Structure 1
Amino acid sequence: MKYSCNVEIEAPLKQVVALWKNEKHFAQWQDGFKSMEHLQGIPNTVGAKSRIKLNQGKREIVLIETILENNLPVEKSALYEHLHMSNTQTSRFEYIDDTHTRYISEVEYVKFNGFVPKLMSKLFPKLFKKQSQKWMNQFKVFAETSIK
């Protein structure tokens, strides 16, 4: 399953990327974000691994992030592995003009483990995209209010 989302942010490219990549800000725009712990490699470089913990309702979700590419401010790609599924995500940032940036996220779910996750992906694929777009919209609000 593949999809992409995007949002236009009223803020300069360099400032948008600086806010987006700063782990200290993740909880301000990713509801449910709890923590990120570096596990292996040089942080934010190809091959680096981190453990990400999120709350989703009453459940805690643990993801292992492996950096596949990081040439920000252009893009960052990572593999996210969870007990029930694995996906890649590429986040791109495009210059529109001196005060506007386009943030694009391309997601591909590459593996579903178990009957329920496979069923969810078939019956409710829009739920996955909806969550990605929600976090992007929250980041837009965070960035625009932080920079002004």
Structure 2
Amino acid sequence: MKYQQEIVINKPRKEVIAKFSDPENMKHWQKGFIFMKPINGQLGEEGSQNLLKYDMGRQQIEMTETILKNDLPDEYSATYEAKGVYNYQVNRFTPTLEKSTLWITENEFQFSGFMKLVGWFMPGAFKKQSKKYMEDFKAFVEDGKSVLDK
């Protein structure tokens, strides 16, 4: 399953990238985020890996992030692997004439095992979650709103 989403953040790209690239901010825009722990390489470097843990309501999910390209402020791409789910994601940040930032994400999901059924019957759930993270990041950058405050 492949899809692309975009959102305009009404802040300059430099400010957007500063918030996006700081792991301490993830808890403010990724609901359910518990922690990120480096497991291989230097934090943020291409080829490095991080363990991410999320509370998704009825269950906790752990995934491994592998950074493929860190060419910020232009692009950040990585893979995310969890049980039954493989996600390749490219994030692009483009300044606009209005001193805003256009954030475009390209996602490609591959499923195995039981998750094949979930991906087949509920593809909208993945798109909806991606969009929600983008909207929450926009609110965090523009207005300082944190998902922790809800």
Q: Distance in 1 between matches of 2:128 and 2:135?
A: 10
SS in 2 for 1:27: helix
Instruction: State the 1:121 CA deviation.
Output: 1.2
Counterpart position of 2:48: 48
CA deviation profile, 1:116-140 (whole Å, cap 9, x unmatched): 3111211221111010000000000
Unaligned stretches of 5+ residues in structure 2: 145-150
TM-score in terms of structure 1 length: 0.94
Is 1:145 the counterpart of 2:143 in the alignment? yes
Is 1:37 the counterpart of 2:72 in the alignment? no
SS in 2 for 1:66: strand
Q: Percent identity?
A: 38
TM-score in terms of structure 2 length: 0.92
Paired residues for 1:108-119 under 5 Å: 108-109=108-109, 111-114=110-113, 116-119=114-117
CA deviation profile, 1:103-124 (whole Å, cap 9, x unmatched): 1111101x3121x311121122
Counterpart position of 1:76: 76
SS in 1 for 2:18: helix
Instruction: State the 1:58 CA deviation.
Output: 2.4
- Aligned pair count? 144
- Stretches of 4+ moved more than 2 A in 1? none
Counterpart position of 1:7: 7
Question: In the alignment, residue 116 of structure 2 is paired with which amino acid?
Answer: K
Counterpart position of 1:136: 134
Q: Distance in 2 between matches of 1:122 and 1:6?
A: 23
SS in 1 for 2:135: helix
Q: Distance in 1 between matches of 2:14 and 2:92?
A: 12
RMSD (CA atoms): 1.0
SS in 1 for 2:96: strand
